[in-house]
C-alpha cells in the first residue's frame, strides 16, 4: 500500500496499512483548507505495532556494531537519494513553515544517522582498575528494547531523526507517535526506513491517548518526548510510575542579552532570527530580551527596522513569517501581548493580526518595549513571533533576570567582551548558551535543558546513552575460593564474656 494524504494510514516497516478509526481532517493554517485526513490508532493497531517491534528488536540487538552501522548508513543514503518535495509541501501545508525550512529540515537528517552509526561502533564501555587480583572488571551497554518517540509539530522530522537514530544505533526498535499537526509529512518520510529489518521502525498516528497507551505498555521500555512543559511533566510522571527511562525536551522561554559591548548590527540581525524563526515556534526561540540601558534605544531601532522588512504569507510563497500552527496557538500569543500592553508595554512593531492576512492564523512579528519582569509574557512561554524587551542597567542585572525563570533550555548573549562571554557561559542557568550566534546545534554536543525545560539529553554521546543501559561485568578467569566468603574464620571474631563478636 502506498501513502496517500487522503487515506488514513499507519506505518510498520516496510508497509503502510489502512487505519480503522474515524477520519479527522488536517487543516492548512494559512488557508484553512483541508490538506488530508488522519485517524487515531486503535488498540488493535497499537498491538500490531508493538508485536512487530518486539519481534524485530530481538535479532537487531544481536547484530554486531559494524552490521548495524551499515544499516544506518543505508538510511542516510536513502534520505540523500529521496525526492522529498511532497513531504516538504505537506509540512508547509500542515503546520505553516516556509518551504525552504521544510525542505532543508527533512533533507538534512542524513548526518545524524551517519554520526550514530559510527558512534555506536565505539562502544565506550569502561574497563576499570580491578578491585581483586585475577579479576577482569568492565562495563558494557545494552539496548532497552522498544523505544517510543513522541514528537512535536515544529521540527517533526529533524527531532524525530535525532532520537530514532540514537535509539536504533543502541539496538532498540522504534515506535514514532507524530504530532497530530504534522502526521502526514511524518508518514510520508517513513519510506526512508524501508531498508531496515521488517517491523523495526513504525509510525503510529494519534493524540494524547495513543501516547499514553504506548507509555503504559509493558512492551515499551524507553520514551523520548518533545513538547510543552505540562505534557512533558505528565510523560515524566507516567514513566516514573513504571520505572521507565525517558528523555524530556520541554521547551522554555529563552533569554537573549544585549551587552553594552554588543556588535549592534550583528545583534539586531541575529535577534530577528532568534525571535522570529518559524514564527517564534521554536523551543529555543529568544522570547525574553534584556538590553543594557547604554545601547537600548539604538538596538531597538535596528531590531525594529529589520523586523519590519520580514515578509508575511503562505509558506509556499516567498515569506519568512507564516501562520501559527492553530487558532489556539495564536490566541495565546494575543493574550500575552494584550496583557503586556495593558500593563504598560509598547508595541514597537506588530501587536496585531496583519490586515492583509485575515484568513488563517497569522500574527505580525512583534517587538515590545517597556516590559517588566513581572509581566505574564516574561513568566510564561509565548511560543509565537514576539520579542519582549526589558531595559536593564548592566550585564549583571541582565544575567540575574535571565536566570529568574522556571525554564532553562537555552540562552543567548551578544557581546565582544571576552570576559562577558565567559561569564555568561558560566553563570547562565541553561542547558545551552550561545554567544553571538543563537540557535546553533551540533550532532556531537548534548541538546537539552535545565529546570522545567527537561530531563536527559539528545545528541552527542549522552543522546546515545539515553537509549541503552549499562551492565557491570566481573570475570574471574582463575576461579578460587575467596577468603571473605562464608564461613568466617574464628580469628575474625573477638571474644567478650564468652560471646564472639565480629
Q: Which residues are catalytic?
A: 249, 283
Other beta carbons less than 10 A from residue 219's beta carbon: 17
Peptide bond between residue 487 and the one before it cis (omega within 30 degrees of 0): yes
Cβ neighbours around 295 below 10 Å, total? 18
Contact partners, residue 484, CB within 8 Å, separation at least 6? none
Q: How far is CA 271 from CA 161, 190, 252, 436, 437, in A?
A: 27, 35, 17, 10, 9
Among residues 247, 256, 307, 250, the alpha carbon closest in space to that of 277 is found at: 307
Name which of 275, 281, 213, 184 is nearest 43 in CA terms.
213
Question: Residue 432 has which C-alpha cell?
Answer: 545551552
Spatial strand order in the sheet of 146-150:
15-18, 9-12, 201-203, 173-177, 146-150, 222-226, 246-249, 454-455
Q: Are the beta carbons of 58 and 156 closer than 8 angstroms?
A: no
Please give the grid coordinates belonging to residue 359.
484568513
Q: What is the DSSP letter of 127?
A: B
Query: What nine digits make up the cell of 309?
Result: 522588512
Q: Which run of H or of E encompasses 433?
A: strand 432-435
* Cell 543502541 sits on residue: 170
**Alpha-helix residue ranges (DSSP H) falling in 309-428:** 327-342, 376-379, 395-403, 418-427
Q: Cα separation of 38 and 22, whole Å?
A: 8
Amino acid at each position: 500500500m502506498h501513502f496517500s494524504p487522503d487515506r488514513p494510514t499507519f506505518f510498520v516497516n516496510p508497509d503502510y496499512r489502512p487505519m480503522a478509526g474515524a477520519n479527522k481532517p488536517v487543516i492548512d493554517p494559512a488557508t484553512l483548507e483541508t490538506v488530508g485526513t488522519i485517524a487515531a490508532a486503535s488498540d488493535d493497531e497499537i498491538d500490531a505495532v508493538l508485536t512487530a517491534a518486539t519481534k524485530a528488536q530481538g535479532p537487531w540487538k544481536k547484530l554486531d556494531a559494524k552490521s548495524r552501522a551499515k544499516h544506518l548508513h543505508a538510511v542516510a543514503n536513502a534520505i540523500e537519494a529521496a525526492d522529498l518535495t511532497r513531504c516538504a509541501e505537506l509540512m508547509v501545508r500542515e503546520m505553516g513553515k516556509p518551504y525552504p525550512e521544510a525542505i532543508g529540515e527533512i533533507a538534512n537528517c542524513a548526518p545524524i544517522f551517519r554520526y550514530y552509526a559510527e558512534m555506536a561502533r565505539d562502544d565506550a564501555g569502561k574497563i576499570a582498575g580491578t578491585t581483586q587480583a585475577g579479576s577482569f572488571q568492565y562495563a558494557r551497554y545494552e539496548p532497552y528494547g522498544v523505544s517510543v518517540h513522541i514528537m512535536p509539530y515544529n521540527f517533526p522530522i529533524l527531532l524525530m531523526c535525532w532520537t530514532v537514530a540514537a535509539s536504533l544505533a543502541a539496538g532498540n526498535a522504534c515506535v514514532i507517535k507524530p504530532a497530530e499537526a504534522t502526521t502526514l509529512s511524518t508518514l510520508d518520510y517513513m519510506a526512508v526506513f524501508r531498508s531496515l529489518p521488517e517491523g523495526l521502525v513504525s509510525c503510529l498516528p494519534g493524540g494524547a491517548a495513543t501516547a499514553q497507551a504506548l507509555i503504559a505498555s509493558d512492551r515499551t521500555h524507553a520514551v523520548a518526548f518533545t513538547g510543552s512543559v505540562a505534557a512533558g511533566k505528565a510523560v515524566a510522571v507516567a514513566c516514573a510510575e513504571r520505572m521507565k527511562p525517558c528523555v524530556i525536551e520541554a521547551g522554555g522561554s529563552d533569554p537573549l542579552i544585549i551587552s553594552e559591548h554588543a556588535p549592534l548590527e550583528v545583534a539586531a540581525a541575529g535577534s530577528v532570527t532568534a525571535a522570529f524563526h518559524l514564527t517564534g515556534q521554536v523551543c529555543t526561540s529568544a522570547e525574553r530580551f534584556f538590553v543594557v540601558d547604554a545601547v537600548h534605544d539604538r538596538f531597538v531601532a535596528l531590531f525594529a527596522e529589520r523586523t519590519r522588512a520580514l515578509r508575511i504569507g503562505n509558506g509556499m510563497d516567498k515569506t519568512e513569517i507564516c501562520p501559527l500552527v492553530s487558532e489556539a496557538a495564536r490566541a495565546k500569543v494575543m493574550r500575552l501581548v494584550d496583557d503586556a500592553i495593558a500593563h504598560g508595554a509598547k508595541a514597537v512593531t506588530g501587536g496585531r493580526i496583519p490586515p492583509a492576512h485575515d484568513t488563517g492564523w497569522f500574527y505580525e512579528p512583534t517587538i515590545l518595549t517597556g516590559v517588566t519582569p513581572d509581566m505574564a509574557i516574561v513568566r510564561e512561554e509565548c511560543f509565537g513571533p514576539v520579542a519582549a524587551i526589558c531595559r536593564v542597567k548592566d550585564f549583571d542585572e541582565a544575567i540575574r533576570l535571565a536566570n529568574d525563570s522556571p525554564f532553562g533550555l537555552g540562552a543567548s548573549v551578544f557581546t565582544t567582551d571576552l570576559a562577558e562571554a565567559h561569564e555568561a557561559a558560566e553563570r547562565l542557568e541553561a542547558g545551552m548558551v550561545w554567544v553571538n550566534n543563537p540557535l546553533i546545534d551540533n550532532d556531537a554536543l548534548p541538546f537539552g535543558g535545565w529546570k522545567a525545560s527537561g530531563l536527559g539529553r539528545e545528541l552527542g554521546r549522552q543522546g546515545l546513552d539515553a537509549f541503552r543501559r549499562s551492565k557491570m561485568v566481573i570475570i574471574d578467569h582463575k576461579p578460587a575460593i575467596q577468603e571473605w566468603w562464608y564461613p568466617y574464620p574464628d580469628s575474625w571474631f573477638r571474644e567478650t564474656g564468652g560471646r564472639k563478636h565480629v
